[in-house]
Amino acid sequence: GTRTSLSTAKGSTVLLNLWATWCAPCREEMPSLDALQSEMGSDNFQVLPVSIDLKEDTKPKAFFAEIGIKHLPFRHDGTLGVFNRLKKMGLAFGMPTTLIVDPEGCALGVMNGPADWAGEDAKALIRTAIGN
């Protein structure tokens, strides 16, 4: 896969979501992340899901296709590197793990567990994070 970094999103607020196909709550919240990106994605905000399925990216890619993800980029970390770094910092305890990161790369908030990212509460949180 293509290497990526949050620095490529510098200048925009990012909702970074770590997920895996073996995580039922992760699978359930993915359509709402796709809807959030569709509705609110812009130069100022983007949703960046990162699969942490071990090794191959075949299963997570198939899952994206199966549920019709249309607005999210596909990113994969088969080494668990990102999750383990966040775990060492005390930010990741389970799956899914979601961070909201400001344009300078600082974490504004972290959530362990699923959420309705297409709901009004989540959209209000994102509007606050991007300053709208």
Distance CA 40, CA 7 (A): 20
CB 32 within 8 A of CB 116: yes
CB 96 within 8 A of CB 29: yes
Q: Which of 57, 47, 68, 46 is nearest to 21 (CA)?
A: 57
CB half-sphere exposure, 41, CA atoms < 13 A? 16
Domain boundaries, the chain: 10-130
Q: Kindly indicate the confidence band of residue 11, based on its pLDDT and cuts at 50, 70 and 90.
A: confident
Amino acid at 67: I
Q: Tell me which architecture the domain covering 10-130 has in CATH.
A: 3-Layer(aba) Sandwich (3.40)
Convert the pLDDT of each residue in 65-115 to its tens digit: 999 999 999 999 999 999 999 999 999 999 999 999 999 999 999 999 999
Which position has the higher pLDDT, 55 or 45? 45
Mean pLDDT of 40-58: 95
112 Cα distance to chain centroid: 12
Cα separation, 20 vs 107, whole angstroms: 21
Per-residue pLDDT at 132: 72
pTM given for the model: 0.91
